[in-house]
A = this chain, B = another copy of it.
Amino acid sequence: MTSPILDLAKRRRTVRTFSSTPVDLEDVFAALEAACQAPSGANLQPWRFIIITDPQIKMRIRKVCEHVERQFYSTVKGELKQWLLSKGLSWRKPFLEDAPILVPLLSQTKAPYSSESVWLAIGYALLALEELGLGTVTYTPSDAEVVADELNVPNGFSLEAILPIGISADEKPKESRLKLEEVTYVDSWGAHLTR
């Protein structure tokens, strides 16, 4: 089975460390144009994007995000805390300043399936970025409202994620994935796929 999409999906991994090499904005436009082609509830296309290149604005966003992450990390417990520690993740988010471009992604809340539609569109964008040689992470601030306020997002729109975009300087390998057989049943729940 030859599937360039499957190859691209396998190759694509999360990037949290970025080169300072500038990014061609045309590439970012192409990835977001791909996202705009996604299906959405009642075709209302509830996605909105902010393309940020201004270093001052990136610095402000980093500051407000690190503020909410510090609060979050002081309360997180259990399995998630273990996972965060094991991955070397912390409240520090230098990628918000180091990546040449930040793209906050908003959803128009009143649209049916607004969040679902935007996340599906993010799937399109990630594959398009990978194809263009650009890395990103779907960063979700622990307190999206505070960050949305900093971005002057009006009522009626929610911040779903911020994509820092740039050329990868992240040497971590891709995290492993479960096999299809481990997450797939045939005809009814519990009857695992075998191949």
Contact = CB atoms under 8 A, between A and B. Distances in A.
A80 B193 CA distance: 38
Contacts of A27: 1
A128 interface: yes
A19 interface: no
Nearest to A83: B42
25 contacts: A3-B128, A5-B131, A6-B31, A9-B35, A9-B124, A10-B34, A10-B37, A12-B37, A29-B195, A32-B184, A39-B138, A43-B175, A45-B183, A48-B183, A48-B185, A50-B184, A50-B185, A51-B184, A113-B140, A120-B120, A120-B122, A120-B126, A124-B126, A151-B188, A151-B189
